[in-house]
Amino acid sequence: MTAGVAAGVAAAGRELRLPSYGVTIASGALARIADIARAAAPAHRYAVVTDETVGPLYAVAVTRALGHGAELFTIPAGEASKTRETWAALTDAMLAAGLGRDTTVVAVGGGVVGDLAGFVAATYLRGVPIVQVPTSLLAMVDASVGGKVGVDTPAGKNLVGAFHQPAAVVIDPEVLRTLPLAHRRAGLAEILKHGIIADECYFAEVEAQLETLRGGLTGADPASAAAADDDGHGDLHLLAATIARSVEIKSAVVTADERESGVRKTLNFGHTIGHAIEQLSAYTLLHGEAIAIGMVAEAGLGERLGATEPGTASRIERAVRDAGLPARVPGEMTAPAILEATRSDKKARAGAVEYALPRRIGAMAGGERGWSVRANDSDVLAALAAVRAEEPA
């Protein structure tokens, strides 16, 4: 525990200390997992949860490092695994393995593994500790921090879950060498979001470094570029420092509002329209890709409503494109279909859809009204029409 220590000191290779748990961001941190886990969440047994892709790359070694009594549980990779069925299978397997209350769950993987394993930890024998070891950029800067865990249901994403803060978060930027470039870029969407909601200087720094941060060779097949490991070491240093600042911003917001009654809503910027687009793409778009489009559309909506300074949307659109992310609504998705899909989002309250919108880069609008701005359907439709890939005939 690091109780009483204010959030601060974010630097690559150092320890970021938050009021209730520690976030370690360091190259080679994975090799220290046993020490970190034993210090933050001492347990008789460790249940390591991973997916089929990350398992052989990292989780097998983590399980071995945790020593006698550590068990590895592997789920198929991808969002389709984040279900109550997988939760049931995992908890059954843990019970069958005789794991008791003195167990700590260790999630090694992307946001899917983190959310699912976190929900398992929140519910297993009424709750055991979790150590998050995020291996995707998105999970490092977003999913692993904040304590939201859960699963998807046929009615929508993340509809069954809990708040369960991790005992520790261990981030080793070295693992990003094997992450496909499309996923790295998807993580950049959330990094841009952190700059937009809280820190103009950070946004400008990231903006200036996007060519390096996005990784890979322009136009190269992401998978083969990642396999060829064309990222230099300096690149990883920059990524580590960027991850640290993003984690700091997200933790500060979450610490101020653990249960999303106020300022935490600002983290939803880009997500009301983004989630709708993600869902309408039948999840062929990555979360970060859909959120990139959502941020451009919602900033445009904010300008239309007079809540956002003019020019904000075009600056966000430029950054999104420089990050190698899509900025426009796919031509086959109609504005009314997207509007309809935003209504099923958890953030829709009392029939009207509420948005978290920037006032400008680095500051959010609507602080006096709980950080949300109501938007009429006609404004949303117009904002969506303005960001379509192809104008309807």
Ligand X SMILES: NC(=O)c1ccc[n+]([C@@H]2O[C@H](COP(=O)([O-])OP(=O)(O)OC[C@H]3O[C@@H](n4cnc5c(N)ncnc54)[C@H](O)[C@@H]3O)[C@@H](O)[C@H]2O)c1
Q: Which residues bind ligand X (CB under 6 A)?
A: 51, 53-54, 57, 77-79, 82, 109-113, 115, 135-136, 138-139, 142-143, 146, 148, 157-158, 175, 178-179, 183, 186, 287
Instruction: Tell me the residue number closest to ligand X, measured at CB.
Output: 111
Check: CB of residue 47 under 8 Å from CB of residue 34: no
The residues annotated with a catalytic role in the active site are 126, 148, 190, 250, 260, 264, 268, 271, 275, 287
Rank residues 33 and 386 by Cβ distance to ligand X and give the closer one.
Answer: 33
Left if phi > 0, otherwise alpha if psi is -120 to 50, otherwise beta: which for 203?
alpha
Least Å distance, CB 210 to ligand X, is 19
Least Å distance, CB 225 to ligand X, is 13
Least Å distance, CB 309 to ligand X, is 27
Least Å distance, CB 262 to ligand X, is 17
C-alpha distances out from residue 175 to 57, 110, 133, 178, Å = 9, 11, 11, 6
What is 251-281 written as a DSSP string? HHHHHH-TTSSSGGGGGGTTHHHHHHHHHHT
Least Å distance, CB 137 to ligand X, is 8
Rank residues 130 and 175 by Cβ distance to ligand X and give the closer one.
Answer: 175
Residue type, 130: I
Rank residues 146 and 300 by Cβ distance to ligand X and give the closer one.
Answer: 146
Helices (H) and strands (E) in the chain, counts: 16, 14
Rank residues 53 and 342 by Cβ distance to ligand X and give the closer one.
Answer: 53
The bridge status of strand 348-349 relative to strand 352-355 is antiparallel
Rank residues 17 and 250 by Cβ distance to ligand X and give the closer one.
Answer: 250
CA angle 252, 257, 259 (to 5 degrees): 130
What is 42-77 written as a DSSP string? --SEEEEEEETTHIIIIIHHHHHHH-TT-EEEEE-S
Buried b (16+ CB within 10 A) or exposed e, 162-177: eebbbbbbbbbbbbbe
